[in-house]
Amino acid sequence: MEKIIIEGGRQLNGTVTISGAKNAALPITAASILTGGWHRFHRVPQLRDIETIRKIMSKMGVVFEEQDGVLSINSDNITECEAPYDLVKTMRASILLLGPLLARLGRARISLPGGCAIGARPINLHLKALAAMGVDMTLEHGYINARVDRLKGANVFFDIPTVTGTENIMMAAVKAEGKTVLRNAAKEPEVIDLAVVLRKMGALIEGDGTDTITIRGVKNLGAVQEHVVITDRIEAGTFMVAAAMTGGSIAIEGCRSANMEAVIEKLRAVGAEVKETDSGLHIRGPKTVKSVDIKTMPYPGFPTDLQAQFMALMCVAEGSSIITETIFENRFIHVSELQRMGANIEISGNQAIVRGREYLSAAPVMATDLRASASLVLAGLVALEGRTEVHRIYHLDRGYEAMEEKFMKLGANIRRETA
């Protein structure tokens, strides 16, 4: 098993290039099932989650080719419509195949994802919307068996704005008979990027980026000639937190400030200087980090996927902060590991009270989910008196492309070791 070893205390300076967004690349890859022909995508990150969706889709007959940083996908011959348990259990986003399979073949068999480390994460809203579109679904032996003759447009109201739910139903609706209106839809930039791709296929979608998305079904779609996946705002935010924590100065290449307003606002509040540049953002960390309160919210609010990283920052801030998690009920699993590094954190329900201290102390720690792992690496970068070992980093590899190499280039003393 691999681990990451960090000797903390170095200031990080330089330039980092942000990769394509995992949470945009996943639904975009799934969307290639909608129609045959060669789709061509640029900036698809090399991540374990992308490998997982490729494995599942390859079993279905989808062909992938990669050359010069372009991922070409061909779905001319879909021979299977099953997403098996052994792969789905490693990545819940596999559920994104349900909508496109129903639109293309009228049938799908997908393993029910089950809970995960950060919460129960039900998919009832995906299923309710599909039922409204005429899909018959049964649950057998842990699998959803779904079947429909022709999807019908429907009025869908999401009780909670769900990101993959909005994406799944958008993909189902592009070939449905008639109009589908999604209300209380997710407004995340990744939802917009998927809508852009679907429009490139010939889909009729309006309102993406607002809470009402209208999709008019069409009979035929065509392959996407060219699309560049948006950059990863969560990866960008993670490196920005690293600059703030180490008092460094980092150019964050390729990220868009428009997608990161809530995060930039909080970074400025902790004392960092953030400027827009021609190629992205530039951040200069403060001498002393000030405490701020954080409350996670659906986009454009503060992202839950950066909560753990900001908590690591607050561990070394001056004063106390209250971090409120409103999206996932169990997303404080990083707390006990941060406490092992000397962090002063108290949890009360969905709130964590973090009392900052001057530095953290190096320790062996265990990664428990993707963003929790990132927070432990960040903590390791400022931990003194020895070396921090982050174990179970396969979680990190699900969502961060070459993270330790990027940190190394910025001056961190970090390396990957096989235990």
Is 148 an interacting residue with respect to ligand EPU (CB under 6 A)? no
# chain residues binding ligand EPU, by CB under 6 A: 24
Q: How far, in Å, are 337, 382, 403 from residue 388 at the CA level?
A: 11, 10, 16
Q: How far apart (Å, rounded) are the C-alpha atoms in residues 271 and 184?
A: 35
Q: Does 205 bind ligand EPU (CB under 6 A)?
A: no
Cβ nearer to ligand EPU, comparing 137 with 408: 137
Q: Which is nearer to ligand EPU, 16 or 163 (CB)?
A: 163
Binding residue for ligand EPU (CB under 6 A) from 23, 214, 375, 388?
A: 23
Among 61, 119, 207, 209, interactor with ligand EPU by CB under 6 A: 119
- Reported as type and span, the H/E element at residue 197 is helix 189-201
Site string for ligand EPU, 373-412 (x = CB under 6 A): --------------------------x-------------
Q: Which of helix, strand or coil describes residue 308?
A: helix
Measured CA to CA, the distance from residue 204 to residue 185 in angstroms comes to 17
Q: Residue 191 Cβ, how far from ligand EPU at the closest point, in Å?
A: 9
Give residues 87-106 in contact with ligand EPU (rule: CB under 6 A).
Answer: 93
As given in the structure block, the two tokens for residue 63 are: 């062909």
Asked if residue 307 lies in contact with residue 294, where contact means CB atoms within 8 angstroms, the answer is yes
Dist CA 282 CA 13 (whole Å) = 11
**Prior bond of 300 cis (ω within 30°):** yes
Binding residue for ligand EPU, selected from 169, 229, 262, 370, defined by CB under 6 A: 370
Q: What is the CB neighbour count within 10 angstroms for residue 383?
A: 26
CB of 247 to ligand EPU, least distance (A): 27
Q: Helix (H, G, I), strand (E, B), or coil: what is residue 7?
A: strand
Q: What does the per-residue mask of binding to ligand EPU show for 263-302, with x meaning CB under 6 A?
A: ----------------------------------------
CA pair distance 395, 1, nearest whole angstrom: 12
- Enter the tokens of residue 274: 């953030």
The pattern of x and - marking residues 150 through 169 that bind ligand EPU according to CB under 6 A reads: ----------x-xxxx----
Tell which positions 24-53 bind ligand EPU, by CB under 6 A: 26
* Residue of 81, 116, 255, 315 with catalytic role: 116
Stretch that binds ligand EPU, among 78-86, 115-123, 259-267, 287-295 (CB under 6 A): 115-123
Known catalytic residue at 81: no
The CA radius of gyration of the chain, in Å to the nearest whole number, is 21
Angle value at C-alpha 315, between 310 and 320, nearest 5 degrees: 95
Cα 345 to chain centroid, rounded:
25
Applying CB under 6 A, which of residues 30, 151, 236, 327 lies at the interface with ligand EPU? 327
| Nearest CA-CA partner of 271 in 371, 197, 356 | 356
Any contact of residue 230 with ligand EPU (CB under 6 A)?
A: no
Does residue number 122 form part of the binding site for ligand EPU (CB under 6 A)? Answer: yes
Enter the tokens of residue 164: 């993959």
Residues that bind ligand EPU (CB under 6 A): 22-23, 26, 93, 119, 121-126, 160, 162-165, 186, 304-305, 327-328, 370-371, 399
Which residues are tagged catalytic?
A: 116
